[in-house]
């Protein structure tokens, strides 16, 4: 038996009474023949994106002892459960119960006074939005850089064609000199 740490994310409607969560955790752990060492409800939070059509979830931290071969069963049971939105299981070998109990509950970040529209990151206050002139100055160097690249590539192709014509002229001159030299030796 190894010690594991698991973070469960439950549907917040289901987790409104914590006894539901405790019963579900007990059911999942019994099926995998695991023993819960410590569990702690973290917080009910708004999710960054919808998971199984839910916008809110309740996080529960659980430490348990279990057989490594049966961890897959726990993950499978969680995927099949309508009440468990996500689970992440990590190896927690060597952690003491005192350490587990001393873990702080993370601070709630729901209320953001620095945001105008109740924490919606896409809607920033007007004074923190970039002005339209700042956007124009950002785009101008990009256009200049593009035109400079185009001019540089035209110059390179012109110099390549000039070099090619000079090489052709040199080869033709060498060939004519050979022809002239061979005529003089044959007379």
Give the strand pairing for 54-66 and 84-91. unpaired
* pLDDT tens for each residue of 51-103: 888 899 999 999 999 999 999 999 999 999 999 999 999 988 887 777 777 77
Q: Where are the domains of the chain?
A: 2-102
Per the document, the length of the chain is 187
Cα separation of 122 and 115, whole Å? 10
Residue 118, pLDDT score: 47
* pLDDT tens for each residue of 133-156: 444 444 445 555 555 555 655 655
Mean pLDDT comparison of 35-39, 133-137, 172-176, highest-scoring range: 35-39
pTM, two decimals, is 0.55
The alpha carbons of the chain give a radius of gyration, in whole angstroms, of: 36
Pick the CATH number of 2-102 from 3.40.50.720, 3.30.70.60, 3.20.20.70, 3.30.70.1450: 3.30.70.60
């Amino acid at each position: 038996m190894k010690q594991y740490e698991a973070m469960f994310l439950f549907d917040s409607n289901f987790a409104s009474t914590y006894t539901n969560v405790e019963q579900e955790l007990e059911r999942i752990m019994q099926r995998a023949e695991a023993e819960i060492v410590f569990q702690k409800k973290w917080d009910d939070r708004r999710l960054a994106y919808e998971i199984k059509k839910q916008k809110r979830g309740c996080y529960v931290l659980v430490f348990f002892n279990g057989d490594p071969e049966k961890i897959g069963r726990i993950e499978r049971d969680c995927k099949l459960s309508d009440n468990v939105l996500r689970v992440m299981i990590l190896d927690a070998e060597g952690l003491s119960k005192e350490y587990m109990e001393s873990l702080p509950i993370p601070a709630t970040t729901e209320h953001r006074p620095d945001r105008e529209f109740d924490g919606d990151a896409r809607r920033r206050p007007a004074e923190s939005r970039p002005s339209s002139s700042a956007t124009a100055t950002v785009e101008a160097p990009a256009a200049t850089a593009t035109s400079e690249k185009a001019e540089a590539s035209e110059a390179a192709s012109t110099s390549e064609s000039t070099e090619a014509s000079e090489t052709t002229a040199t080869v033709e001159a060498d060939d004519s000199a050979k022809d002239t030299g061979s005529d003089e030796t044959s007379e």
